[in-house]
Structure 1
Amino acid sequence: MERRVVIAGGGPVGMWLACELRLAGVPTVVLEQSVEISPHSRALTVHPRTVETFALRGAHRQMLAEGGQLPSGHFAVLDERLEFDALDTDFKFTLTIPQARTTALLQERAIADGADVRRGHRFVGFVEEDGGLVVTAEGPEGEYTLGADYLVGCDGTRSTVRKSAGIEFVGTSFTALGALGDVRLADPPDSPVISRWSLEGTFMCVRLPDGNHRIAVHSPEDLRTDWPGDFTLEELRDRIQRIAGTDYGMHSPAWLSRYSNASRIASTYRKGRVLVAGDAAHQHMPAGGVGLNVGVQDAMNLGWKLAATFNGWAPESLLDSYHEERHPVGVELLEQSQAQTALFMDFTLQGGELRSFLARLIAERPQLKAGLTERLSGLHVRYAAPPGAHPLTGCRAPNLRLQDDQDLFSLLEPGRYVLIDFARVPGFDVRALDLGDAADRLARYRPQRPVPEPRAEWRQLSAALVRPDGCVAWASDETEADALVRETGLAAAAIAAPTPAASPAITTAH
């Protein structure tokens, strides 16, 4: 049986996963039932952490060249905007770029890296056989089979992969709807982004690169548990007129669609040789545009682990950490989405008072505002660390300036671990250490001299090990050279054989 990974679903999540697998040389087939990329883009926003995710592989440059940059975001369309200027990132903005274009750019990268992308091919099912999987697909010439070591479902909320694997999709059906339209405006607003809430409803209007405007709207009549049929231009025009007092001269709709606040999550992100990511793992109201972003970050977490397991240097248990780390993120995603839905769909006087109170509280409490901003940006995610680990273990590493001409993200582009010696301990030089089998799986870096570090939590570090996905696997502020050599050796040993018992200091970092 030929060895490969099969991905069902060729959206941004599936394509980014394919890019990660091909970076590690894993034979990868992507099955996507749509012959062409859909021009209709439910997602428009790439949040700061997702831009960072792409930047970890140098895949962000064309997106930045094409997309718009919004320096602030919102929580539940509250009047108090969440400014990104204080975020600890190189990307202090939300990037506005249609999902269709994001998908196209990632598909180009995946194909260039050697992924076998099969558009017009539908995943049908699978069976386990001879220590692997036999995947059945249907293409233009009929059904055929593929041998696979692993199968990943990136095939949306109705995931056939998830259903075929018998993975439960736990949660609630919808109690509220929303609608959107991509339309032309004869009399558009001056600002590229506007939003408004009133007792008549709430809407957001975003200028798109193709000359259309995306209008998302929620109204009191959307608080329902039945599906009213296709959304129409007349409905959109009537609702915006009621909320804003004008319909902005809308005409020529390119796309009209409804969506719901159904809230579900996969009971497990891994079942044997089958895994799920993105919308196949979690469904929610698209409040704040977080779905694509969390999905891409799922793929980033999974990609290097799946590649390490496939290539034989990591045990199967490493894949279990994908569920352990990403499932809690999905649970929080559903919680946050439902909280926002409750806030912007309470079209009562009491709802208005609650919104006013919360907006004022956010404005008066910098710490609260900062916390919401970090959550919106995706920079707050931290994976669980074992007892006794350094406080930075499990955290995202910012793009550290290690020297005038060197930053951390560039070192991470090949998709390997990076072991950093901050040149702060006399007698210790990471480049001189014998790291055994781990030496081929990481890059070592030591600046010529200690670099001033503005971040207090990083200022005293002697050494740190950063995972391929940009999260801290291990860190030390040890000041004695011999002790630091021993600690670094343990960290390297855990890379060479990443098992739960490898080292108490990096048990869950893998």
Structure 2
Amino acid sequence: MVYDVVIAGAGPVGLFLACELRLAKLSVLVLEQLEDPHSPLKRLPFGRRGLWGPSVEAFYRRGLLDQIASQRSAGDRAPNQPVPGPIASGAQLRGPGGHFAGIPFDYSNIDSSRWKYRLPSPADNQLGSETEHLERVLAARALSVGVEIQRGQGVEGFEASDDEVTVHAGKQRVRARWLVGCDGGRSTVRKQAGFEFVGTEPEFTGYSVQVELADPEKLRPGRHYTPTGMYNQGQPGVIAMADFDGGAFHRTQPVTLEHVQAVLRRVSCTDVTVKVLHVATTWTDRAHQATTYRKGRVLLAGDSAHIHSPLGGQGLNLGLGDAMNLGWKLAATIRGDAPEGLLDSYTTERHPVGARILDWSRAQVALMRPNQASRALEAILRDLIDTRDGATYFAERVWGVALRYDLGGEHPLVGRSCPDFELEDGTRVGTLLRDGKGLLLDFGRKASLQALNGHWGDQVRYVDSDARNRLGLSALLVRPDGFVAWASDTTPNPEEVTRAAARWFASREPHAIRR
């Protein structure tokens, strides 16, 4: 058998990508090195991940949001709870809406009225999800739609030709038309394919530990910068630390109780004593990115394509965005109805997004350095982030509201996430994207657009309905990933729609699907 796509890695990015490809009825095999998907590091407190705007919208548009937001996590833990964020509603909540290097911005300072093309939606909320729970939901969806998942079968190597890829996994050899590396920061796929991976080396070794302290009163709660590093005690005994050693300790030695105590004493400037070490892991602020996300029939997504520190919780969201962007483009390429250059637009669109996140991470490290200059910068930034302009700016960046692809259109909505319009019958546009097709929304019911109905086969659904709040728009063309490819405030020009659709969906004369 020759699979359409083999995906290396059954983390959230690989599983979500597999689900996206199955929307197009492609044959997909996911190969995962680990036999057991469970790990203490995937559970609370260390496995908690924030899901921001574009990720929440992606899950909503694919009918996964309710499961991710409400299903119970493993064991006796409570359900994952949504954290309300006034992305569109303008609700004046109070309290931290996010942070930058530990400096919080407050909901009450955020001016969401500046976001003209946002509408209230079930995807307004920011979510806190446990990694293990998220993987479980995505794996269940993948299996239910026909994805094959093999655990204990990591990709060990491959040979690629102009027509297909032969993947080595254990004793088996698997043939596929395409291979996608979603196998993490030390990606075998990326290394063997020879992708250039460039960036900056680490300044610190980060530690996430769960301990019992003999004298807990000596360690203050919250985040603290000291002359020798940083520590953050979010809840008693759950501590994150940054030791500015150039990343020297990361993955070089076992993390022992004695070592954790020595680092904790150094960065906290106390003589606190660690009585029991339950869980410990290390990480760094190394920030590297592949210069391209495609080489022939091999592609990268998630941490395989870019790595950076976990500061600010952007990594998972970045990878999920890769999967949402790549899935429909790779599917169209395999079907044979992709416009020229569609698959290359994956790198063109997602690489700048990744580069911005890497710089976002580096900027936070600059504020964390244990020196007087960083403390001075921190004081200035605290003042700025406490203003209405400052809080709004940081919310835009952290929540992903500012995300816009350069799609070449003149309308300010082109390249942005489609507002979740509520149509006359109560249907929401987000729910119309669940089958992975594009949308041509015709609010004015123009005969000229109706004539285009079916012009691109079954790739675009024509919707002729007014919306309860159309935001001044008359029509728009939406890609399968929910981003706007074309929009008009006036009487739409069918030729403009045709050109936009030809760029993202198919030529003017649809041709037979090739497999």
User: Per the shorter chain, which TM-score range?
Assistant: 0.7 to 0.9
- Aligned residue pairs, count: 472
Once the two structures are TM-superposed, the CA of residue 34 in structure 1 deviates from its matched residue by 0.1
Q: Which residue of structure 2 lines up, in the alignment, with residue 294 of structure 1?
A: 318
Q: Which residue of structure 1 lines up, in the alignment, with residue 385 of structure 2?
A: 362
Q: For 1:321-379, what per-residue CA distance to the aligned partner results, in whole angstroms no more than 9, with x for missing partners?
A: 000001111111111111101112x2233322221111112213x22321211111122
Q: For 1:275-310, what per-residue CA distance to the aligned partner results, in whole angstroms no more than 9, with x for missing partners?
A: 001110001111111111100110110011111111
**SS of corresponding position for 2:225:** strand
Distance in 1 of aligned mates of 2:188 and 2:441:
43
Q: Which residue of structure 1 lines up, in the alignment, with residue 183 of structure 2?
A: 155
Q: Which residue of structure 1 lines up, in the alignment, with residue 91 of structure 2?
A: none
Which residue of 135, 159, 167 maps to 1:103? 135
State, as a whole percentage, how many aligned pairs show the same letter: 38
Preserved contact between residue 205 and residue 282 of structure 2 (Cα < 8 Å) = yes
Once the two structures are TM-superposed, the CA of residue 198 in structure 1 deviates from its matched residue by 4.0
Q: For 1:53-77, what per-residue CA distance to the aligned partner results, in whole angstroms no more than 9, with x for missing partners?
A: 1111011112211313445211011
Distance in 2 of aligned mates of 1:102 and 1:259:
22
- Larger CA deviation: 253-262 vs 331-340: 253-262
Which residue of 206, 209, 218 maps to 1:178? 206
Letter in 1 for 2:176: A
Matched, 1:451 2:451: no
Once the two structures are TM-superposed, the CA of residue 381 in structure 1 deviates from its matched residue by 1.5
Q: For 1:397-443, what per-residue CA distance to the aligned partner results, in whole angstroms no more than 9, with x for missing partners?
A: 232223362111101111110111122x7x5474x324444141122
Q: Closer, same or farther in 2 for the Cα pair 1:204/1:251, shift >3 Å?
A: same
Preserved contact between residue 266 and residue 282 of structure 1 (Cα < 8 Å) = yes
Matched, 1:52 2:68: no
**SS of corresponding position for 1:150:** strand
Preserved contact between residue 19 and residue 145 of structure 2 (Cα < 8 Å) = yes
Letter in 2 for 1:451: R
Once the two structures are TM-superposed, the CA of residue 183 in structure 1 deviates from its matched residue by 4.8
Matched, 1:78 2:103: yes
Preserved contact between residue 43 and residue 292 of structure 1 (Cα < 8 Å) = no
1:114-153 pair list within 5 angstroms: 114-129=146-161, 131-138=163-170, 143-153=171-181
Which residue of 371, 377, 383 maps to 2:399? 377
Distance in 1 of aligned mates of 2:287 and 2:180:
21
**SS of corresponding position for 1:397:** coil
Distance in 2 of aligned mates of 1:312 and 1:250:
60
Letter in 2 for 1:290: Q
Which residue of 396, 404, 412 maps to 1:391? 412
Q: Closer, same or farther in 2 for the Cα pair 1:368/1:28, shift >3 Å?
A: same
**SS of corresponding position for 1:175:** coil
**SS of corresponding position for 2:493:** helix
Distance in 2 of aligned mates of 1:79 and 1:493:
44
What's the TM-score, normalizing by structure 1?
A: 0.84
Once the two structures are TM-superposed, the CA of residue 318 in structure 1 deviates from its matched residue by 1.1
Preserved contact between residue 437 and residue 496 of structure 1 (Cα < 8 Å) = no
Distance in 1 of aligned mates of 2:81 and 2:256:
28
Q: Closer, same or farther in 2 for the Cα pair 1:240/1:7, shift >3 Å?
A: same
Letter in 1 for 2:358: L
Which residue of 67, 76, 80 maps to 1:67? 80
Distance in 1 of aligned mates of 2:193 and 2:58:
29
Q: Which residue of structure 1 lines up, in the alignment, with residue 232 of structure 2?
A: 204
Letter in 1 for 2:460: L
Preserved contact between residue 435 and residue 492 of structure 1 (Cα < 8 Å) = no
Preserved contact between residue 29 and residue 149 of structure 2 (Cα < 8 Å) = yes
Which residue of 426, 429, 438 maps to 1:405? 426
Matched, 1:218 2:242: yes
Distance in 2 of aligned mates of 1:232 and 1:3:
45
Q: Closer, same or farther in 2 for the Cα pair 1:163/1:296, shift >3 Å?
A: same
Matched, 1:112 2:129: no
Matched, 1:462 2:474: yes
**SS of corresponding position for 1:148:** strand
Distance in 2 of aligned mates of 1:85 and 1:413:
31
What's the TM-score, normalizing by structure 2?
A: 0.83
Distance in 2 of aligned mates of 1:147 and 1:237:
50
Letter in 2 for 1:392: L
Matched, 1:419 2:437: no
1:24-63 pair list within 5 angstroms: 24-39=24-39, 40-41=41-42, 44-45=48-49, 46-63=51-68
Distance in 2 of aligned mates of 1:435 and 1:495:
16
**SS of corresponding position for 2:456:** helix
Q: Which residue of structure 1 lines up, in the alignment, with residue 279 of structure 2?
A: 255
Superposition RMSD in Å: 3.1
Q: Closer, same or farther in 2 for the Cα pair 1:305/1:14, shift >3 Å?
A: same
Preserved contact between residue 56 and residue 125 of structure 2 (Cα < 8 Å) = no
**SS of corresponding position for 1:121:** coil
Once the two structures are TM-superposed, the CA of residue 472 in structure 1 deviates from its matched residue by 0.5
**SS of corresponding position for 1:347:** coil
Q: Closer, same or farther in 2 for the Cα pair 1:127/1:369, shift >3 Å?
A: same
Distance in 2 of aligned mates of 1:161 and 1:170:
16
Preserved contact between residue 181 and residue 253 of structure 1 (Cα < 8 Å) = yes
**SS of corresponding position for 1:104:** helix
Preserved contact between residue 233 and residue 256 of structure 1 (Cα < 8 Å) = no
Q: Which residue of structure 2 lines up, in the alignment, with residue 456 of structure 1?
A: none
Distance in 2 of aligned mates of 1:463 and 1:179:
51
Once the two structures are TM-superposed, the CA of residue 395 in structure 1 deviates from its matched residue by 1.1
Structure 1 residues not aligned, in runs of 5+: 454-458, 503-510
Structure 2 residues not aligned, in runs of 5+: 71-78, 85-96, 113-117, 511-515
Q: Closer, same or farther in 2 for the Cα pair 1:80/1:442, shift >3 Å?
A: closer
Preserved contact between residue 205 and residue 214 of structure 1 (Cα < 8 Å) = yes
Q: Closer, same or farther in 2 for the Cα pair 1:373/1:144, shift >3 Å?
A: same
Q: Closer, same or farther in 2 for the Cα pair 1:38/1:362, shift >3 Å?
A: same
Preserved contact between residue 435 and residue 493 of structure 1 (Cα < 8 Å) = no
- Larger CA deviation: 274-283 vs 54-63: 54-63
Preserved contact between residue 279 and residue 291 of structure 1 (Cα < 8 Å) = yes
Distance in 2 of aligned mates of 1:450 and 1:172:
48
